[in-house]
């Protein structure tokens, strides 16, 4: 786990993170091009994410945000450019250290919460051992679902199901955790709770996070850096550093100003 390494680098130190991103990024994307049949979805995307950094990628729908995550997670085998995690190309097993929380919870509806989280355990961990069981139960606790280990997905609310999906991603102990609009289907209040919850988990575990969202408020509130994707084919339009200490106030004047900056970068 990388939490030890992060103990002396507070996650809020965006400057330090940005500097180390250039030095030795956990996630490195250089000149990524992705084509679906006749449509070029992404063209010349560059991105570097440092260890422990929280990066949000925003953009209008259809700009290739989700495609970017699919490439990073190894679900797309064919693309141009270089995409590496921990220095290994995602096509050569680099994607093995990437976990993903999809837009929908995508749970096994016949299995209980425990089994669903255990799906995320790395291949070298035997899910039937006591240690693995403890790890899974810890994670269920971590995402605030203590007591629901034996519940089935249809007994959970949308927000709870999404947290199971988050626990599954954390069980994988990934170098980079990708989140594809995980809160977009939730109502406002639940969404705010889940965002704070994600921050808690991130600060506690020090996992590197790339969050894709179309919600500018969410991006600015959560991330160290906001990458604005736009155009067709999608490319990086601008990068906005969010240099505000956590815990942040959603109504903070600086935050609101940054929100406006990102919104303008989006061309809205």
Partner 1 sequence: MATDARTESRTIGPVALPSAERFRPLLGLVVPAALVVVWHLLVASGAISAYQLPTPLRVAKTLHGLAASGELWGHVAITVQRVVLGAGLGVAVGTVFGTATGLSRTASDLLDPLLQSLKNIPSLAWVPLFLLWFGIGETAKVLLIAVGAFFPVYLNLSTGIAAVDEELLEVAEVYDLGRVESLRRVVLPAALPSLLVGVRGGVGLAWMFVVAAELIAASQGVGFLLSDGRTLARPDIIVASILLFAFLGNCSDVAVKEVRDRVVGR
Whole-number Cα distances in Å, 22 to 15, 16, 26:
11, 10, 10
Question: Is 115 or 252 the residue whose CB approaches partner 1 more closely?
Answer: 115
Q: Least Å distance between CB 123 and partner 1?
A: 5
First to last CA, the chain: 40
Using CB under 8 A, which of 30, 31, 92, 108 touches partner 1? 108
When asked if residue 122 is in the footprint of partner 1 (CB under 8 A), the reply is yes
Largest interatomic CA distance in the chain: 53
Q: Least Å distance between CB 155 and partner 1?
A: 5
Question: Is 148 or 221 the residue whose CB approaches partner 1 more closely?
Answer: 148
User: In 3-state terms, what secondary structure has residue 115?
Assistant: helix
155 closest CA partner among 201, 147, 186 = 147
Question: Is 117 or 240 the residue whose CB approaches partner 1 more closely?
Answer: 117
What the block records as the tokens of 113 is 């919460």
Whole-number Cα distances in Å, 176 to 60, 166, 210, 211, 238:
23, 13, 7, 10, 22
165 closest CA partner among 180, 176, 155 = 180
When asked if residue 248 is in the footprint of partner 1 (CB under 8 A), the reply is no
When asked if residue 134 is in the footprint of partner 1 (CB under 8 A), the reply is no
Using CB under 8 A, which of 46, 86, 96, 243 touches partner 1? 96
Question: Is 14 or 164 the residue whose CB approaches partner 1 more closely?
Answer: 164
Please give the Cα distance from 151 to 147 (Å, whole number). 8
| Residues across the chain | 268
Question: Is 49 or 176 the residue whose CB approaches partner 1 more closely?
Answer: 176
Total number of residues that touch partner 1 (CB under 8 A):
26
When asked if residue 86 is in the footprint of partner 1 (CB under 8 A), the reply is no
**Pair type for strands 98-101 and 176-180:** parallel
Between residue 156 and residue 175, which ones bind partner 1 under the rule CB under 8 A? 168, 172
When asked if residue 185 is in the footprint of partner 1 (CB under 8 A), the reply is no
Q: Which residues contact partner 1 by CB under 8 A?
A: 73-75, 95-96, 98-100, 102, 104, 106, 108, 110-111, 115, 119-120, 122-123, 147-148, 151-152, 155, 168, 172
């Amino acid at each position: 786990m990388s939490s030890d390494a992060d103990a002396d680098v507070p996650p809020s130190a965006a400057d330090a993170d940005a500097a180390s991103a250039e030095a030795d990024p956990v996630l490195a994307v250089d000149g990524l091009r992705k084509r679906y049949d006749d449509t070029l979805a992404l063209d010349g995307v560059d991105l570097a994410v440092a260890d422990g950094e929280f990066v949000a990628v925003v953009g209008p729908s259809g700009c290739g945000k989700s495609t970017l995550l699919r490439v990073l997670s190894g679900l797309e085998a064919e693309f141009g450019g270089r995409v590496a995690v921990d220095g290994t190309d995602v096509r050569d097993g680099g994607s093995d250290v990437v976990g993903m929380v999809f837009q929908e919870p995508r749970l096994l509806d016949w299995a209980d919460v425990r089994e669903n989280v255990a799906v995320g355990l790395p291949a070298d961990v035997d899910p039937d051992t006591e240690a693995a069981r403890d790890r899974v139960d810890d994670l269920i606790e971590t995402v605030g679902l203590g007591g629901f280990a034996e519940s089935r997905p249809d007994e959970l609310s949308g927000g709870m199901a999404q947290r199971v999906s988050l626990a599954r991603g954390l069980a994988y102990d990934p170098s980079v955790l990708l989140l594809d609009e995980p809160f977009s289907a939730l109502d406002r209040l639940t969404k705010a709770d889940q965002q704070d919850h994600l921050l808690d988990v991130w600060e506690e575990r020090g996992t590197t996070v790339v969050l894709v969202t179309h919600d500018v408020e969410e991006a600015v509130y959560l991330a160290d850096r906001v990458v604005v994707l736009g155009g067709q084919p999608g490319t990086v339009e601008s990068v906005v550093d969010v240099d505000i200490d956590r815990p942040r106030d959603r109504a903070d004047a600086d935050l609101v100003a940054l929100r406006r900056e990102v919104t303008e970068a989006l061309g809205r």
